[in-house]
A and B are shown apart, each in its own frame.
Chain A
Amino acid sequence: MSNEKTDWWVGLFILLGAIALSFLALRAGNLSSFSFAPTYALSAKFDNIGGLKVRAPVKSAGVVVGRVASISLDEKTFQAVVTVQIEKNYRFPKDSSAKILTSGLLGEQYIGLEAGGDDANLVAGGTLQFTQSAIVLESLISQFLYSSAEKQGTPQGTESAPAPKSPKLSQ
């Protein structure tokens, strides 16, 4: 019977499936960018984390040194507590600062670590004292709009708006 032949084809089929899955995981997915190097945890408090997500990269000078492990809200200060896992072989001074940056104008957000000058290094479970929140585009735009409206408002307000107070302003 052709039973052996069928078995052969089934084996080939499963093998093809395994190849496809590993291709998806390694080539298309980012499993290969996982590093299994030992890590240590640091935490940082931000006023606003914007669109930061778990597993976002932590970069120092552009080099990926770790990943965001968890994000939660501190109920007392109402700040976002971000825990990051940094690879063991990267050490940072105690007064290093963390910023939330955006890759490109509208790209994904990551944490940028800037090394400080302290002699002592951060240890596992340590806290990054100096943080800078994410820049939220909407608030930037509204700030810009308000400031430009203020500028416009003082000299031109008299012409466009004949309010009762305007005679005083016109001079």
Chain B
Amino acid sequence: MLVALSLTRELGPVITALLFAGRAGTSLTAEIGLMKAGEQLAAMEVMAVDPIRRVFVPRFWGGVIAMPVLAAVFSMVGIIGGWVVGVLLIGIDTGAFWSQMQNGVDVYNDVLNGVIKSIIFGVAVTLIALYEGWQARPTPEGVARATTRTVVTGSLAVLGLDFLLTALMFSN
């Protein structure tokens, strides 16, 4: 029960968002930074193609959609891992394991809030990654710095937002 609660509420969204910032956020920043360094964005503007529309918006939505899916998969795998350890290795009764979990976890309070959290994290991390890529100095060094900043700012934003959201959602 503790496994499920902590996974759906906190660990699932937060760790997924941190990994997401590290894996997808950096690649977004690096890609856009390189596009800027290679003057691809400028070329698009010259050709009257809006780079925001063509480059940023699809990446933003991709990140926002992928985050809750990843977080849900994370939680599921975590719970199944808890089941393997608890039931197969330690020998807790399967029925007791699931019924305890179902007693403790509320669909709306815990699962839905976890999903909402992960969507918000997705928005935050993707926006930060895109912004850092957009603001990167168009040199190899600038792109490298922007990538680092994406991870740092993204992780801090996730942790800060998590604190706020937890206080908002689970305070009553």
Contacts and interface: CB of A to CB of B under 8 A. Distances in A.
Interface of A: 13-14, 16-17, 19-21, 23-25, 27-34, 55, 108
B98 A27 contact: yes
A17 to B, nearest CB: 3
Interface residues of B, number: 22
Contact of B69 (A20, A23, A27, A108): A20
Interface of B: 4, 8, 66, 68-70, 72-73, 75-76, 79, 98, 101-103, 105-107, 110-111, 114-115
Contacts of A33: 102
B8 A20 contact: no
Given A13-B69, A29-B102, A23 B107 contact: no
Contacts of A17: 68-70, 72-73
Contacts of B98: 27
B134 to A, nearest CB: 25
B106 A16 contact: no
Contacts of B76: 19-20, 23-24
Contact of B107 (A13, A14, A25, A108): A25
Contact of B102 (A21, A30, A108): A30
Contacts of B72: 17, 20-21, 24
A22 to B, nearest CB: 9
Leading 3 A-B pairs by shortest Cβ distance? A17-B69, A20-B72, A20-B76
Given A17-B73, A20-B73, A24-B111, A30 B68 contact: no
Residue among A20, A28, A34 having the largest count of chain B Cβ atoms under 10 Å: A28
Contacts of B69: 13-14, 16-17, 20
Contact of B101 (A14, A25, A28): A28
Contact of A29 (B68, B70, B110): B110
A28 B103 contact: no
B107 A21 contact: no
5 contacts: A20-B73, A29-B110, A30-B102, A30-B107, A31-B107
A128 to B, nearest CB: 25
B110 A21 contact: no
Contact of B105 (A14, A21, A29): A29
A19 B76 CA distance: 9
A108 B103 contact: yes
A24 B102 CA distance: 10
A28 B68 contact: no
B105 to A, nearest CB: 5
Given A23-B79, A31-B107, 17 more contacts: A13-B69, A14-B69, A19-B76, A20-B72, A24-B8, A24-B72, A24-B114, A27-B101, A28-B4, A28-B79, A28-B111, A29-B110, A30-B102, A30-B105, A30-B106, A33-B102, A34-B107
Contacts of A28: 4, 8, 75, 79, 101-102, 105, 111
A54 to B, nearest CB: 10
